[in-house]
Amino acid sequence: MGWWERQVVPRIVCRNRSPEVTGLRARVCAGLAGDVIEVGFGSGLNVAHYPETVRGVWAIEPSDVAWKMAQPRIATGPVPVHRAGLDGQRLSMPDCRYDSALSTFTMCTIPDLDAALTELRRVLRPGGTLHFVEHGRSPDARIARWQDRLQPINGRLAGGCHLDRPIADHIRNSGWKIEQLDRFYLVKPSPFTYAFLGTARNAT
């Protein structure tokens, strides 16, 4: 991870607090319960939206800068938060440890997304749920072509972010059963704004 990814990208992500995105964070956190593992915790922008049914959150976050920025939110948040790892592709937790999982605008940056989704299934109890809101590949062929064109430079500037990932396909192909899925553009159609919001169940 270079200087740009360590020092700049976490600060850019933290500034994305538009009313639309904040509302999506609140929506995706609704229904979380028990012990929750959050992949891509970042600077803690979801902390204010954890419902009362959450006992604690175990955060997977590779950035020390983001984790430091999260401390004021953690200190005033409704539930205890523990930093539990740096890499969602390789989790140190035992099988069936958690009740729910949370991912918000994270699946675009994980190098091996399928490995991370498989690891989340391993550490969730049978029947546990993954709550997610992500951006990814548009079904509009014209916008998808622009996503393909822009991806090389976007990946370099945005810490490895992929504009063109078919998020729902990755979730299904990793063994999750999607139970609810909304697809939409944030604000207006563009290569950066196609979103997936939903829940998936660990059916094993």
Mean pLDDT per 10-residue run, the chain (204 residues)?
Answer: 55 66 96 97 95 98 92 95 95 97 96 97 98 97 97 88 96 97 94 97 88
pLDDT of 160 reads 85
Contact 43, 70 (CB under 8 A): yes
Burial grade of 167 (CB within 10 A; 0-12, 13-18, 19 or more): buried
List the structure tokens of 150: 């822009």
AA letter at 181: L
pLDDT of 3 reads 54
Q: HSE on the CB side for 74, CA within 13 Å?
A: 18
Residue 163 CA to residue 152 CA, distance in Å, equals 10
Domains of the chain and any CATH numbers: 3-202 (3.40.50.150)
pTM of the predicted model as reported, rounded to 2 decimal places: 0.93
Residue 81 CA to residue 131 CA, distance in Å, equals 17
pLDDT of 19 reads 82
pLDDT of 126 reads 97
pLDDT of 156 reads 86
